[in-house]
Amino acid sequence: MQWSVVLEAVGDREVTLEEVVELADAVARHGGVASGFGTASYAARILVEAGSRDQARELGVATLAEAARTAGLPAWPVTVLDVVSPDDEDEDG
Is residue 89 very low, low, confident or very high in pLDDT (cuts 50, 70, 90)? low
Q: How far is CA 3 from CA 8, 47, 51, 52, 74, in A?
A: 16, 6, 9, 9, 25
The residue ranking higher by pLDDT, 34 or 87, is: 34
- pLDDT band at residue 88 under the 50/70/90 scheme: confident
Q: What is the set of domains in the chain, with CATH numbers? A: 2-84 (3.30.70)
Q: Which of residues 60 and 89 earns the better pLDDT score?
A: 60
CA distance 3 to 88: 10
Q: What does the pLDDT look like over 2-22, one tens digit per residue?
A: 999 999 999 999 999 999 999
Question: How confident is the model over 30-86, as pLDDT tens digits?
Answer: 999 999 999 999 999 999 999 999 999 999 999 999 999 999 999 999 999 999 997
Count of positions (residues) in the chain: 93
Query: Residue 30: what are its φ and ψ, rounded to 5°?
Result: -105, 20
